[in-house]
Amino acid sequence: MVITNEEGLITFINTQTQNIFGYNKKELIGKNLEILIPKRFVGNHYKHIANFHSDPKLRPMGEGLNLWGLRKDGSEFPVEISLSPLKSNGATHVIAAVRDISDKRKSEATQKELEDKLQLSKRMESLGLLAGGVAHDLNNILGPILAYPDLILTELPKNTPVKNDLMMIKDAATYASNLINDMLTLARRGKYSMASVSLNDIVNSFFNSAKVSELNKNNKDIEIIFDLADDLNNIKGSKTHLLEVVMNLVINAFEAIRKRKGTIMISTYNENVKPEALLYDDIEGGNYSVLTIADTGRGIKEEDLPHIFEPFYSKKTMGISGSGLGLSIVWGIVKDHGGYIDISAGKKKNTKFSLFFPATDSDEQPSRKDITNLEGNESILVVDDESKQRQVADRVLSSLGYDVKTLSTSAEAIEYLKKPK
C-alpha cells in the first residue's frame, strides 16, 4: 500500500510494497510517486490522478488498463491498482493498493499459448480431412486421364502425329495427380512402412538426386553447406516420407533466396532434450536426432508463423512456386514420426527449421520384394464403385494378360466368389 498527498508525494508505504519495488522506506518517503512509474506512463498517471481527485471514491484501476511499475533496479512489471480517498485535515490523500501481477500475466500467456497450439492441431486435422475428401474425388476423375494416353499410344504407330498431344494431356494430369497425392498424404497420415534409418542417409540421398541437380543449375549463386554428425543416432521412420520432408524444406529454402546470393545450411546432431515449450508444440524429454535446414533468405513475417503449416496458406504463386501443401505435409510427416518442429525465423533474419525425431537403437529393416515383370495370366477381381475406374483397371490389366472381372459393390463381389468357377 502507498499513500500520497495532494502534491503526489509519498507519505506512507508498507513493507510488502517496499519489497515489490525494491526500495526501503527512507528512500521513498517524501519522493514523488513518479519514482515508481516507468517514464512512458507518467503522463497517463497524472491524467488518472486528476480524474480521481475530480470524483474521489474507491475504484479499481487494473482491469482493462495497461499499468506498469518500475523497480529500483530499473526493471518493469505489470500491476493492478485500486485507489481510495483518505480525508485528513481538510486535504484528500490517495491510498493506492498495488498488486504485482507478473505471475498472473505469465499464466495467461501460457494458457493462450496452449490454446493456440490446440487450435493449430485441430485446424490441421480438419483441413487434412477436408483435403483428403476432395482429393479422393479428384483422383477418381484423373485416373482415366492418366491411363488412357498410354493405352491409346499402344494401339497407334510409333511415329503418330498425336503422340505429343497425348503426352501433354498425360503431363498435365500427372501434375494434378502429384498435387492430389500431397492432399492424400494429409488425410492418410501414419500409414507408413517404418524401419531404422539415418537422417544423414536421407539427406545424402536427396542431395544426390536429379531434383537437386536441377535446383543447383537454376540457382548457381546459392551455396549449400553440410554439417552432418558422424555419430548420429538412427530413428524409426519411413525413408520415402522423410525424403519428402527434406525435399519440401530445401525447395522452400531455395525459393526464399531465389535470384540472390545466399546460403543453405544442412546439419544433423544428437541432443538430449529436456521437456520444454517450442514455438508450435511442447517437446517431451529424451534423446533425439535433430535435422536443421536453414537459409539466408527473406525470412518469415511474424504474423505468418502461426499459419505456415496450414494447407494452402502460402505466399507463393500458386501453380508456379508450389501447391501450398509442402509445409503441411512436413508437419504431418514429422508428427507421425513422433517428432517435433521448431522454427527460428523473422523478416530480417535467417529462417531455420529444426526437426526433432526420437532416437532409436533398433536396426530393424522392412522386408522387400522387387517386381520386374508385371505381366501374368491369373484372374483378377476388381471392385470399385466408380465405373470409369473399373474401365481403366479392366483395360490396363487385360493388356498385361490377366483375366479381369469388374464389379461395383462388395456385395456383388461376395456373391460372385460364392459361385463355382
Q: What is the pLDDT of residue 185?
A: 67
What average pLDDT does the chain have?
Answer: 82
Phi/psi region, residue 64 (left: phi>0; alpha: psi -120 to 50; beta: rest), is: left
Please indicate whether residue 238 or residue 128 has the higher confidence score (pLDDT).
238
Q: Are 394 and 382 in contact (CB under 8 A)?
A: yes
Q: DSSP letter string over 298-333? A: S---TTTGGGTTSTT--SS-BTTTB-S-HHHHHHHH
DSSP label at 188? S
CB atoms within 10 A of CB 147: 19
Highest mean pLDDT of the ranges 38-47, 150-159, 283-292:
283-292
Q: Are 341 and 293 in contact (CB under 8 A)?
A: no
CA–CA dist 5, 330 (Å, integer): 63
Confidence of residue 349 (pLDDT cuts 50, 70, 90): low
Highest mean pLDDT of the ranges 204-213, 224-233, 281-290:
224-233
Q: Are 269 and 229 in contact (CB under 8 A)?
A: yes
Give the SS3 label for residue 8.
Answer: coil
Which domains does the chain carry? 2-100 (3.30.450.20), 109-188 (1.10.287.130), 194-368 (3.30.565.10), 379-418 (no CATH)
The predicted model gives 254-263 an average pLDDT of: 87
Q: What is the pLDDT of residue 35?
A: 87
Q: Are 102 and 11 in contact (CB under 8 A)?
A: no
The sign of the CA dihedral 150, 132, 124, 312 is positive
CA dihedral 194, 200, 205, 209 (to 10 degrees): 130
Confidence of residue 320 (pLDDT cuts 50, 70, 90): very low
Q: What is the pLDDT of residue 318?
A: 46
- 235, with CB counted inside 10 A (0-12, 13-18, 19+), is buried
What are the C-alpha distances in Å from 134 to residues 129, 137, 184, 190, 307? Answer: 9, 5, 9, 19, 21
Q: Are 397 and 405 in contact (CB under 8 A)?
A: no
Confidence of residue 138 (pLDDT cuts 50, 70, 90): confident
Q: What is the pLDDT of residue 319?
A: 44
Q: Are 278 and 286 in contact (CB under 8 A)?
A: no
Cα angle 299, 303, 308; round to 5: 70
Q: DSSP letter string over 206-220? A: HHTSHHHHHHHHH-T
User: Mind listing the pLDDT tens digit for each residue in 351-394?
Assistant: 999 999 999 987 665 556 666 778 888 999 999 988 888 998 99
Cα–Cα nearest to 32, from 14, 46, 53 = 46
Q: What is the pLDDT of residue 156?
A: 87
Q: What is the pLDDT of residue 357?
A: 96
Q: What is the pLDDT of residue 347?
A: 54
What are the C-alpha distances in Å from 87 to residues 50, 56, 60, 271? Answer: 16, 10, 19, 64
CA–CA dist 97, 94 (Å, integer): 10
Q: What is the pTM of this model?
A: 0.55
What are the C-alpha distances in Å from 260 to residues 59, 108, 113, 254, 297? Answer: 59, 42, 36, 10, 9
CA–CA dist 210, 150 (Å, integer): 24
